[in-house]
Amino acid sequence: MIPGELGEAMEVRLLLWCKTEGQRLGTGDALLEFETDKALVLVAASQPAVLRRCFFREGEWMKPGDMVAWLSDEPGEPLPGEAGARAEDLLVDFHVT
């Protein structure tokens, strides 16, 4: 999710996915890069995860609060809308640098 601290009116542009759906991320691995009107922002995993689904393509504009991707601990965990899915299964911490 794009951090709300950027301000509700700000749009950011997704520049690069550093991983593809199904790939694992290790602690500190880059996930994506986006730009604001003032900076380039790299989003990296703060714990191991699997990139399950990307909701935006490179070059598309996003707003704070937009869900950008789903991450999970394991590749076989159900996603929202699938039988057995739990919201907490998809909560993976990340940090912005």
Per residue in 53-95, pLDDT tens?
A: 999 999 999 987 788 888 888 888 877 766 665 555 444 445 5
Tell me the domains of the chain and their CATH numbers.
Answer: 4-77+85-96 (2.40.50.100)
Cα distances from 6 to residues 21, 48, 74, in angstroms, run 26, 25, 30
Question: By CB neighbour count within 10 A (0-12 exposed, 13-18 middle, 19+ buried), where does 77 fall?
Answer: middle
Residue keyed to tokens 């991450």: 71
Distance CA(49)–CA(61), nearest Å, equals: 25
Per residue in 36-45, pLDDT tens?
A: 888 888 888 8
pLDDT of residue 41: 86
Question: What average pLDDT does this structure show over 11-30?
Answer: 94
pLDDT of residue 85: 54
DSSP 40-59: EEEEEESS-EEEEEE-S-TT
* pTM for this predicted structure: 0.77
